[in-house]
């Protein structure tokens, strides 16, 4: 009888209230302008990387094919949360409908999980390129790259559908405040009017295990790569080390959030918002900086692209 009552009350929660990053109005204005700059730079940087890779035929290799996918995902990943957060800084109530909340959560996990799989594939690509250079073009053929791209997007979609289907069935009858600036699974679980221990275990075993396993695989892959680099000449070793260092930086920043948030029960910690900011706004901005400033091929291609544009403008 009580369960039936709770299910009947589910429809009453039509909107959730996001707490945002701060209740101080002056601080919120500073947050707005700071994250607006972050978001614009994220769009410009990642879109420029995609255009450069498409434009420069020398970058038509598996490594840059996956890098263009990473830039595309970063644009989408940031767009899922940051525009809503920017809009909410001007709003006193910061409301989001239940449907919009579920939609935001679905795409957030779609792009996040796809990026985790992509980072793992990129590590495998670097392993083959450095440890088995003579077999590289055979192992990482364009057919294989296309299949890997399809597989990682399919895996991200399945993961997101599985988690969303768990959350959407939960009854919500109040309270309605989400202690963050976007909708995510741990916050919604805490608002459910029912026992969620099984759901929490499923979330940890799904998102948490994916994050931890992929992180372990990535660390092992780069450890093998570093051991292999000891036997290479200094010039090739320096370039490979630079590439691996860039990948490891991205992996640590991105997977660090996933492990911190999804590998524990859905309890609220003061650090959650700070970690979420890095996850949704800072990491997508750092990716183009890391991959361009530490990559001579990308810098040369960008300079070539800009030089061509300047010549066209003068003509």
One-letter-per-residue 3-state SS of the chain: CHHHHHHHHHHHCCEEEECCCCCCHHHHHHHHHHHHHHHHHHHHHHHHHHHHHHHCHHHCCHHHHHHHHHHHHHHHHHHHHHHHHHHHCCCCCCEEEHHHHHHHHHHHHHHHHHHHHHHHHHHHHHHHHHHCHHHHHHHCCHHHHHHHHHHHHHHHHHHHHHHHHHHHCCCCCCCCEECCCCCCHHHHHHHCCCCCHHHHHHHHHHHHHHHHHHHHHHHHHHHHHHHHHCCCCHHHHHHHHHHHHHHHHHHHHHHHHHHHHHCCCCCCCCCHHHHHHHHHHHHHHHHHHHHHHCCHHHHHHHHHHHHHHHHHHHC
Judged against a pLDDT cut of 60, whether residue 8 lies above it is answered with: no
Mean pLDDT (whole number) for 174-183: 82
Structure tokens at 3: 């369960």
Q: Sorting pLDDT into bands at 50, 70 and 90, what band is 293?
A: low
Domain limits, the chain: 13-314
Task: Please give the model's pTM, rounded to 2 decimal places.
Answer: 0.85
Judged against a pLDDT cut of 50, whether residue 9 lies above it is answered with: no
Of 77, 89, 68, 66, give the one whose Cα is nearest residue 283. 77
Rg (the chain; Cα; Å): 22
Mean pLDDT (whole number) for 110-134: 89
The rounded distance, in Å, linking the Cα atoms of 237 and 242 is: 8
The rounded distance, in Å, linking the Cα atoms of 167 and 31 is: 30
Judged against a pLDDT cut of 50, whether residue 4 lies above it is answered with: no
Tell me the pLDDT of the chain averaged across its residues.
81
Mean pLDDT (whole number) for 117-124: 90
The rounded distance, in Å, linking the Cα atoms of 159 and 211 is: 12
Q: Could you report the per-residue pLDDT of 143-165, keeping only the tens digit for each?
A: 999 999 999 999 999 999 998 98
Residue % of the chain over a pLDDT of 70: 85
Structure tokens at 242: 């630079």
Q: What is the pLDDT of residue 10?
A: 41
Q: Sorting pLDDT into bands at 50, 70 and 90, what band is 7?
A: very low
The rounded distance, in Å, linking the Cα atoms of 105 and 90 is: 22
19 near 276, Cβ under 8 Å? no
Query: Highest-confidence range of 59-63, 171-175, 235-239, 242-246, by mean pLDDT?
Result: 59-63
- Range with lowest mean pLDDT among 112-126, 213-227, 248-262: 248-262
Q: What is the pLDDT of residue 312?
A: 52
From the CB of residue 117, how many other CB atoms can be counted at a distance below 10 Å? 20
* Residue 25, CA distances (Å) to 39, 83, 187 in order: 21, 18, 24
Q: What is the pLDDT of residue 175?
A: 77
From the CB of residue 17, how many other CB atoms can be counted at a distance below 10 Å? 14
CATH class of 13-314: mainly alpha
Mean pLDDT (whole number) for 4-20: 62
Query: Highest-confidence range of 187-196, 249-258, 296-305, by mean pLDDT?
Result: 187-196
The rounded distance, in Å, linking the Cα atoms of 82 and 61 is: 32
């Amino acid at each position: 009888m009580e369960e039936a009552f709770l299910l009947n009350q589910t429809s009453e929660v039509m909107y959730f209230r996001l707490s945002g990053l701060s209740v101080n109005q002056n601080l919120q204005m500073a947050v707005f302008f700071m994250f607006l700059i972050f978001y614009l730079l994220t769009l410009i940087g990642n879109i420029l990387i995609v255009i450069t890779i498409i434009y420069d035929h020398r970058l038509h290799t598996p490594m840059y094919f996956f890098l263009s996918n990473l830039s595309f995902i970063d644009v989408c990943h940031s767009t899922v949360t940051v525009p809503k957060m920017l809009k909410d800084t001007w709003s006193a109530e910061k409301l989001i409908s239940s449907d919009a909340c579920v939609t935001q959560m679905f795409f957030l996990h779609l792009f996040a999980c796809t990026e985790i799989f992509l980072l793992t594939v990129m590590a495998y690509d670097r392993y083959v390129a450095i440890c088995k250079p003579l077999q590289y073009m055979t192992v990482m053929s364009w057919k294989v790259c296309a299949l890997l791209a399809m597989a990682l997007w399919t895996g991200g979609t399945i993961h997101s559908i599985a988690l969303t289907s768990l959350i959407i069935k939960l009854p919500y009858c109040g309270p309605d405040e989400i202690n963050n600036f976007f909708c995510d699974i741990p916050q919604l679980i805490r608002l459910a009017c029912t026992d969620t221990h099984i759901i929490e275990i499923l979330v940890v075993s799904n998102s948490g295990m994916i994050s931890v396993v992929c992180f372990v695989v990535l660390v092992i892959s780069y450890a093998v790569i570093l051991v292999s680099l000891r036997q290479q000449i200094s010039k090739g070793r320096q370039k490979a080390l630079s590439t691996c260092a860039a990948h490891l930086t991205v992996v640590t920043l991105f997977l660090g959030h996933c492990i911190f948030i999804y590998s524990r029960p859905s309890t609220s910690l003061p650090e959650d918002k700070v970690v979420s900011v890095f996850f949704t706004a800072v990491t997508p901005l750092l990716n183009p900086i890391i991959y361009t400033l530490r990559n001579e091929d990308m810098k040369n291609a960008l300079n070539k692209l800009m030089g061509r544009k300047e010549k066209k403008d003068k003509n």
